[in-house]
């Protein structure tokens, strides 16, 4: 598939570049800057973007890339560190800025004389000065996002200066002949004026990318690949009912029908209604081979007396694998395991130096395939979460599956602070169900990344009727986020908060106080444990 390749030099914005390109229907992949030339050249390249990064090119261990990429004959765009690298490569001078430039700045683009823009040598006095193709359709002055400590002081050989800001004289450059462009600012960040347009110009006018990529572009190819690989084997899928495993299972089912065996482990730590929805959607609607393994008592007995978050997670992870393995052994001729791995899971595991480097999640049951000796099928591994939703929609999957909030593998156990008992699970389930119903009723379900209740081991005094009560506390946590990496608490309408609070206190026995969590991530996490 034609693509623009993003080489990652460790910037916190690298993934954003990819998101922006895909928003423009341009397929792209991210590889670490250290990737071999052979691998880079093996891609169907229409262009390459060199990302920013936290280093200075003069640092001893600064990330480098094979400079032969400049001879591959594809257009190149350097962003921030990428620009400094290009300048260094072409004998410009990069220096430490007098002051670190961080935040918005006003970029003034220079008009190139038309002969430069037209690429010819002759003077054309009657023609209006033109701009670089990179800035076509963009006003002369725009607001850009800067975040850099170094800057280009002396122009690299063969390049023209395209723009400047009050603090940075050389803020965008091009060498039209070599098809190399560079920006000191970050066009990929959300609040940059015309950032998307600049990336679009690069993709369409410079790289001449003509395709119209969509998350479903892979579908036919993926289905054909799965068919070819699986042959007569059986395929196992740990179906949690979440967006990723559900979409992955539907794709694999399209490829191999009832050779797919789905296992849903009921840990007893699921939300009210989760199991019933699994039955309704996957048994009744899709008629999958779905085994619901009820292991709730086993999980409960293992969690007895355990209050440490880390131990809870370990016990649940281990027990999950045990139950899953036992069930999968009953499936004859199993050779493959479906996983709903997403693109960020793969990018994160790429080790690039710098602060944004590997943020390894503790989230997924990664031990499964190794132990079970099964080959992996990962039909979503080049997609971002919202793209999986788009793909699910093109497969006509129910919205209630596609638009549900993420739910952690260890389930309600990490939302019950302290001991996990059947009684406390039931209290939390009831409160959580009410909260979710009210959020839906108010039309806030899709405005929120995640909404859930946490049961605290804190009792407080209240008055109910004429009597004093001494009961538990529920914390309500609602957050907005793009990817779960950072999050802000949702500013719910007071009316909705009030409804959630009054309904839970009056309908859930054992709760007499509701508090709302108003911390962002960082410094807090989304879950409480």
Which residues participate in catalysis according to the annotation? 80, 186, 188
Handedness of CA 440, 444, 445, 448 (dihedral sign): negative
Q: Judged by CB, which is closer to ligand XMP: 217, or 481?
A: 481
Contact 513, 473 (CB under 8 A): yes
Instruction: State the minimum distance, in angstroms, from the CB of residue 483 to ligand XMP.
Output: 9
Q: How buried is 71 (Cβ within 10 angstroms: 0-12 exposed, 13-18 middle, 19+ buried)?
A: exposed
Instruction: State the minimum distance, in angstroms, from the CB of residue 312 to ligand XMP.
Output: 10
Contact 49, 17 (CB under 8 A): yes
**Mask 449-488, x = binds ligand XMP (CB under 6 A)?**
-x---------------------------------x----
Work out whether 406 is an interface residue with ligand XMP (CB under 6 A).
yes
Q: Judged by CB, which is closer to ligand XMP: 74, or 248?
A: 248
Q: Judged by CB, which is closer to ligand XMP: 430, or 477?
A: 477
Q: Binder to ligand XMP among 274, 410, 438, 478 (CB under 6 A)?
A: 410
Cα separation, 357 vs 336, whole angstroms: 31
Cα separation, 188 vs 147, whole angstroms: 12
Cα separation, 85 vs 78, whole angstroms: 8
Q: Among the candidate windows 99-107, 343-351, 512-520, 521-529, which touches ligand XMP by CB under 6 A?
A: 521-529
Q: How buried is 141 (Cβ within 10 angstroms: 0-12 exposed, 13-18 middle, 19+ buried)?
A: exposed
The values of phi and psi at residue 145, to 5°, are: -105, 120
Cα separation, 259 vs 331, whole angstroms: 10
Work out whether 363 is an interface residue with ligand XMP (CB under 6 A).
yes
Work out whether 433 is an interface residue with ligand XMP (CB under 6 A).
no
Q: Judged by CB, which is closer to ligand XMP: 7, or 413?
A: 413
Q: Binder to ligand XMP among 132, 251, 408, 472 (CB under 6 A)?
A: 408
Q: Among the candidate windows 166-174, 230-238, 407-415, 438-446, which touches ligand XMP by CB under 6 A?
A: 407-415
Q: Nearest 5 degrees, angle CA 520-CA 521-CA 525? A: 115
Q: Binder to ligand XMP among 25, 111, 381, 521 (CB under 6 A)?
A: 521
Contact 454, 528 (CB under 8 A): yes
For ligand XMP (CB under 6 A), the number of binding residues is 11
CA 407 to chain centroid: 15
Work out whether 167 is an interface residue with ligand XMP (CB under 6 A).
no
Work out whether 309 is an interface residue with ligand XMP (CB under 6 A).
no
Residue of 110, 101, 201 whose CA lies nearest to 155: 110
Q: Judged by CB, which is closer to ligand XMP: 366, or 418?
A: 366
Q: Among the candidate windows 158-166, 171-179, 404-412, 460-468, which touches ligand XMP by CB under 6 A?
A: 404-412
Q: Judged by CB, which is closer to ligand XMP: 394, or 486?
A: 486
Q: Three-state SS for 276?
A: helix
Instruction: State the minimum distance, in angstroms, from the CB of residue 245 to ligand XMP.
Output: 10
Q: Judged by CB, which is closer to ligand XMP: 86, or 243?
A: 243
Work out whether 340 is an interface residue with ligand XMP (CB under 6 A).
no
Instruction: Kindly list the strands in the beta sheet with 76-79, ordered across the sheet, starting from the edge strand earlier in the chain.
Output: 28-32, 3-8, 45-50, 76-79, 180-183, 172-175, 160-164, 93-109, 141-154
Q: Among the candidate windows 223-231, 300-308, 378-386, 518-526, which touches ligand XMP by CB under 6 A?
A: 518-526
Cis link prior to 131 (omega < 30° from 0)?
Answer: no
Q: Judged by CB, which is closer to ligand XMP: 81, or 452?
A: 452
Q: Among the candidate windows 11-19, 104-112, 405-413, 468-476, which touches ligand XMP by CB under 6 A?
A: 405-413
Label the pairing between strands 334-338 and 375-377: parallel
Work out whether 526 is an interface residue with ligand XMP (CB under 6 A).
yes
Residue of 186, 106, 104 whose CA lies nearest to 140: 106
Instruction: State the minimum distance, in angstroms, from the CB of residue 232 to ligand XMP.
Output: 32
Q: Binder to ligand XMP among 409, 492, 512, 513 (CB under 6 A)?
A: 409
Contacts of 207 (CB under 8 A, 6+ apart): 4, 46, 47, 74, 75
Instruction: State the minimum distance, in angstroms, from the CB of residue 432 to ligand XMP.
Output: 13
Residue of 349, 342, 352 whose CA lies nearest to 12: 352
Instruction: State the minimum distance, in angstroms, from the CB of residue 509 to ligand XMP.
Output: 27
Q: Judged by CB, which is closer to ligand XMP: 157, or 364?
A: 364
Whole-number Cα distances in Å, 438 to 134, 512, 526 = 48, 18, 20
Quote the DSSP letter at residue 205: I
Query: Which residue in the block uniquely carries the two structure tokens 């009030």?
Result: 498
Instruction: State the minimum distance, in angstroms, from the CB of residue 363 to ligand XMP.
Output: 4
Instruction: State the minimum distance, in angstroms, from the CB of residue 487 to ligand XMP.
Output: 7
Interacting residue ranges for ligand XMP, rule: CB under 6 A: 363, 406, 408-410, 450, 484, 521, 525-527
């Amino acid at each position: 598939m034609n693509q623009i390749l993003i080489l990652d030099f460790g910037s916190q914005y690298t993934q954003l570049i990819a998101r922006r390109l895909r928003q423009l229907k341009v397929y792209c992949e991210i590889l670490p800057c250290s990737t071999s030339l052979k691998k880079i050249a093996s891609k169907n390249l229409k262009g390459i973007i060199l990302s920013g990064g936290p280093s200075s090119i003069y640092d001893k261990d600064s990330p480098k890339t094979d400079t032969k990429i400049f001879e591959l004959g594809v257009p190149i765009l350097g962003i921030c560190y990428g620009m400094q690298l290009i300048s260094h490569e072409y004998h410009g001078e990069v220096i430490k800025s007098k002051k670190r430039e961080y935040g918005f700045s006003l970029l003034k683009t220079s008009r190139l004389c038309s002969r430069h823009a037209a690429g010819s040598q002759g003077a054309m006095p009657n023609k209006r000065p033109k701009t670089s193709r990179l800035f076509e359709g963009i006003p002369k002055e725009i607001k850009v996002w800067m975040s850099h400590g170094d800057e280009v002081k002396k122009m690299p050989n063969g390049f023209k200066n395209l723009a400047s800001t009050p603090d940075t004289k050389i803020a965008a450059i091009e060498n039209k002949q070599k098809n190399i462009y560079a920006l000191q600012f970050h066009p990929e960040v959300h609040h940059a004026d015309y950032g998307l347009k600049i990336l679009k110009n690069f993709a369409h006018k410079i790289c001449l990318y003509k395709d119209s990529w969509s998350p479903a572009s892979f579908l036919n190819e993926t289905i054909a690949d799965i068919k070819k690989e699986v042959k007569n084997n059986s395929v196992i899928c740990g179906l949690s009912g979440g967006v990723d495993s559900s979409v992955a299972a539907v794709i694999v089912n399209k490829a191999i029908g009832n050779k797919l065996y789905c296992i849903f482990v009921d840990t007893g730590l699921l939300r009210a209604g989760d199991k019933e929805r699994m039955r309704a959607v996957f048994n009744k609607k899709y008629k999958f081979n779905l085994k619901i393994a009820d292991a709730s008592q086993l999980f409960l007995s293992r969690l007895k007396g355990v209050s440490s978050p880390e131990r809870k997670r370990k016990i649940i992870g281990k027990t999950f694998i045990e139950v899953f393995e036992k069930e999968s052994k009953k499936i004859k001729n199993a050779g493959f395991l479906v996983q709903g791995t997403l693109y960020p899971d793969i990018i994160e595991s790429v080790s690039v130096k710098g602060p944004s480097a590997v943020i390894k999640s503790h989230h997924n049951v990664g031990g499964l395939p190794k132990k079970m000796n099964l080959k992996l099928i990962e039909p979503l591994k080049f997609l971002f979460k919202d793209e999986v939703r788009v793909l699910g929609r093109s497969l006509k999957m129910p919205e209630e599956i596609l638009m549900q909030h993420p739910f952690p593998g260890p389930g309600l156990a990490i939302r019950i602070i302290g001991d996990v008992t059947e009684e406390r699970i039931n209290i939390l389930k009831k409160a959580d169900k009410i909260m979710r119903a009210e959020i839906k009723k108010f039309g806030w379900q899709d405005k929120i990344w995640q909404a859930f209740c946490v049961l605290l081991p804190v009792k407080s005094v209240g008055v109910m009727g004429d009597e004093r009560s001494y009961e538990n506390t529920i914390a309500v946590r609602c957050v907005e986020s793009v990817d779960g990496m950072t999050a802000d608490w949702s500013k719910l309408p007071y009316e909705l908060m009030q409804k959630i609070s009054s309904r839970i206190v009056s309908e859930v026995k054992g709760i007499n106080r509701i508090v709302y969590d108003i911390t962002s991530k960082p410094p807090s996490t989304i879950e409480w444990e």
